[in-house]
Amino acid sequence: MVDVNKHQIIESNVITGVIIAGGQGSRVGFQQKALLPYHGEPILKPILALLSSQVHTVWVNTNVEIERYQAFSEQLFSDEYQGFLGPLAGMHAAWQYIQTDWAVFVPCDNPNLPNDFVSRMINAYQNQPNPIVIVNDGVRLQPLYIMMHRSMAESLNQAIAKGHLSVNRWVKENDFTEACFADCCSKAFQNMNTLASFDVLEEPS
Structurally, the chain folds into a number of domains equal to 1
**88 within domain boundaries:** yes
Domain that includes residue 47, residue range: 13-190
Give binding residues for Mg(2+) as ranges: 109
Q: What is the pLDDT of residues 74-99, one digit of tens each?
A: 999 999 988 889 999 999 999 999 99
Q: What percent of the chain has pLDDT over 70?
A: 86
Q: In CATH, what number is assigned to the domain containing residue 66?
A: 3.90.550.10
Residue 186 pLDDT level (bands cut at 50, 70, 90): confident
pLDDT number for residue 203: 40
**200 within domain boundaries:** no
**8 within domain boundaries:** no
pLDDT over threshold 80, residue 30:
no
pTM for the predicted model, two decimal places: 0.88
**5 within domain boundaries:** no
**133 within domain boundaries:** yes
Give binding residues for GTP as ranges: 20-22, 33, 61, 79, 109
Q: What is the pLDDT of residues 51-68, one digit of tens each?
A: 999 998 999 999 989 999
**155 within domain boundaries:** yes
The 3 state secondary structure assigned to the chain is CCCCCCCCCCCHHHEEEEEECCCCCHHHCCCCHHHCEECCEECHHHHHHHHHCCCCEEEEECCCCHHHHCCCCCCEECCCCCCCCCHHHHHHHHCCCCCCCEEEEEECCCCCCCCCHHHHHHHHHHHCCCCEEEEECCCCEEEEEEEEEHHHHHHHHHHHHHCCCCHHHHHHCCCCEEEECCCCCCCCCCCCCCHHHHCCCCCCC
Q: What is the pLDDT of residues 145-160, one digit of tens each?
A: 999 999 999 999 999 9
pLDDT number for residue 20: 96
Give binding residues as ranges: 20-22, 33, 61, 79, 109
